[in-house]
Amino acid sequence: MVRLNLLGFLVLSLRAILDASSASAQSNVVLPPLVPAVHSFQPASHGSFQLSGSLSILVDENFASATVDSGLTLIPPPLESFAQTFAADLQEIFPRLSTKVSIVNEATLKKSSDFVFLTISPQSNYTLASGQSTTEGYEMDVSSTGVRIIGGGAKGAFWGTRTLLQGFALSRGQFPNGVVRDQPDWQTRGIMLEQVSIGADEYDADLADDYNDFVNTMSDFIQQEANKTIRIWSTSEPSNTTSVSKAIIKQHWEFFEGDPYELIRAGYNVINSEDSIHYIVMKQPQPDSYPQRLNQSRLWDGANVNTGGIWDPHIFDRGNASNNPNIAEPRLKGSIIAHQAVWNDHGPNASTPLEAFYAFKKGLPVIAAANWQAASRPNHLTHAQFLLAYPTLEATAPGQNLDRRVQSKGDVVIKYQVPERLPGKSAVPDLSGNGYDASFENGILRTPLGSKGHDYTLMISASSVQTSGTLLAGPDSAFGFTESANGPTLAFTSSNIVYPLFNYTLPTVSVSSSREIILSGTENRTSAWVDGCYVGDFLIGIDGTTTYEPMAFVAPIEQIGGQDSGVETFTLWNGLQDVSQITESNTKACT
């Protein structure tokens, strides 16, 4: 499970919350709230490693090409590749930091400072909760002059760089001196499976023997052809004569399909994807069905419906603890979420890809923490620590910008005065002060940006004559006009699906030559105003019924205007603005 990167670190406030061990309590050195928490940290008496202007990332020449890995990775990268990734991640989070990756002899460290050294110790003894050995563990020795990360394998060293990266992000480039020792409790965890899935559930009981034969034949074929095992949905096969091979991993999702602990006792390897914890259905209108977002209350205090507690992969039954195996059970392989737990039961047009991200983004790191470290471990992440950590963790995770964040010096992100005509390709200044100057050509204003995520407010002024075409476009969506049964209306387009604004038609006659359109967006809805008057939220009818759910669109800002669009001005704010304060229209006519 990829570690994420977490929120600003204030030692005085965190000490009262963390108090992770008696050793830490006796020391001035305290870890920030890492997600997942590490299994152990032996703090030094004082001090920390501090990033300076440059950092040397040194790779042990004896293991630079090593790909030692007992985990579930199809093609594990070598240690040097992980070092290059670490360097790129650091520079993304700390743009002023200079990094250099070098392959060195360990003996040279005696004369080095400002370094992170990566190596592998094949003799390391790291184990999963079951006692099975794993190369995904690591030890990290932090001193004021440098950091040594010793992985059980290449990926173990990589997990060490994730811990260090989080600490730097949380504490403004610092990590406390001491020794971290860490490893996962389960091997299978995260949002992807490196195994073949062939389904194999919810079939006609009369065909059970045929189905078992099919599943076993597929298993043998894939094993022979590719040396891979397969995974199926957990089912107690309705047959008295045949059964699925025990070489096949069963993925539990619901007790009415099969008792997971009974399957474990019968000799099957089982993955936990219990639907009461892992499942969400996008735009699900029924409150007694699966939630629209991962249930935080169940994750943090729903391990047992009577006694509460933090969930982890050994918990299948939240009502009867006797139906759950011990965390050391070797046939419990871990848990998997999201790639099959975010369901679009209401069709491809009910949600956008980014809405799927919003649905599980806050729950994913909680499940990551539980997969890495059992809830019964003394250093397990607490809810209070997570709430402190999550905002910065989510904002600084490198290699992605799913929140579609745009840096801004103030509330106004971009502001343009669009010219009527300019010769050829001309520059148009950004009046916000952020320097996002655009270019104007053939009636289109092209910005250096793509999309602006939530929350946002935008205002566009365009010719009131225009009632067709595109006003705004970006990589995730577009905004403009479309024809409805009653005439032209406003519309977003995402994944080639048009989402019109219901129950609103643009006026055919306008008292002004310009029309002002204001949009505001959150992760839960998108609202529209025309000439200062609220005209509705963008909705989707669920399964063709009169039950509606809101749509959440990001602001498309890569292109503004278009051929004959008549766009005159454009302003984008960060956050939700009071429309009555920003509109330039006379709102007395609003009803």
pLDDT, tens only, 93-113: 999 999 999 999 999 888 889
Q: Is residue 224 situated within a structural domain? A: yes
Q: Is the pLDDT of residue 37 over 50?
A: yes
In DSSP terms, which residues pair with 439 in a beta bridge?
427, 446
- Same domain for 166 and 265, yes or no, is no
In terms of domains, do 206 and 107 share one? no
244 and 344 part of one domain: yes
Same domain, 575 and 444: yes
Please report, for the domain that includes residue 45, its CATH number.
3.30.379.10
- Among 48-62, 173-187, 291-305, the least confident range: 291-305
176 and 57 inside one domain: yes
Would you say residue 398 lies in a domain?
no
Cα(411)–Cα(404) distance, integer angstroms:
16
Give CA–CA dist 143/110, Å, rounded. 13
CB atoms within 10 A of CB 221: 11
Q: What is the DSSP letter of 390?
A: H
The domain of 510 spans 412-589
Specify which residues 406 forms β-bridges with.
Answer: none
Q: To the nearest whole percent, how much of the chain has pLDDT over 90?
A: 68
**Predicted pLDDT of residue 391:** 95
* Same domain (yes/no): 60, 111: yes
Confidence grade of residue 564 (pLDDT, cut at 50, 70, 90): low
Query: Final residue of a domain: which of 147, 182, 217?
Result: 182
Residues 97 and 154 in one domain: yes
Long-range pairs, 417-421, Cβ under 8 A, ≥24: 417/568, 417/569, 418/445, 418/560, 418/561, 418/567, 418/568, 418/569, 418/570
- Are 457 and 553 contained in the same domain? yes
- Cα-Cα end-to-end distance for the chain: 52
Average pLDDT over residues 436-456: 94
Question: Is residue 331, in this structure, part of any structural domain at all?
Answer: yes
Domain assignment present for 384:
no
Does 53 map to a domain? yes
Write down the pLDDT at residue 181.
98
pLDDT in tens, 457-483: 999 998 877 788 899 999 999 999 999
- For residues 246 and 132, what is the distance between their CA atoms, to the nearest angstrom? 19
pLDDT for the residue numbered 494: 96
pLDDT in tens, 205-225: 899 999 999 999 999 999 999
Same domain, 165 and 124: yes
Residues 353 and 223 in one domain: yes
The answer to the question of residue 389 being in a domain is no
CATH of the domain at 322: 3.20.20.80
- 88/86 Cα distance (integer angstroms): 5
The pLDDT confidence band at residue 234, using thresholds 50, 70 and 90, is confident
Domain containing 514 — which CATH number? 2.60.120.200
pLDDT at 423: 66
Per-residue pLDDT band for 424 (boundaries 50, 70, 90) equals low
| Residue ending a domain, choose from 149, 182, 215 | 182
Percentage with pLDDT > 70 across the chain: 92
**Does 342 share its domain with 208?**
yes
> Tokens representing 481?
């006009």
168 pLDDT above the threshold of 90: yes
How many domains does one find in the chain? 3
Tokens of 85: 């990734």
Do 505 and 369 fall into the same domain? Answer: no
**Full-model pTM:** 0.88
Mean pLDDT across the chain, nearest whole number? 89
Tell the residue number behind the tokens 């840096």, with chain if given: 407
Calpha distance 541→523 (Å, rounded): 18
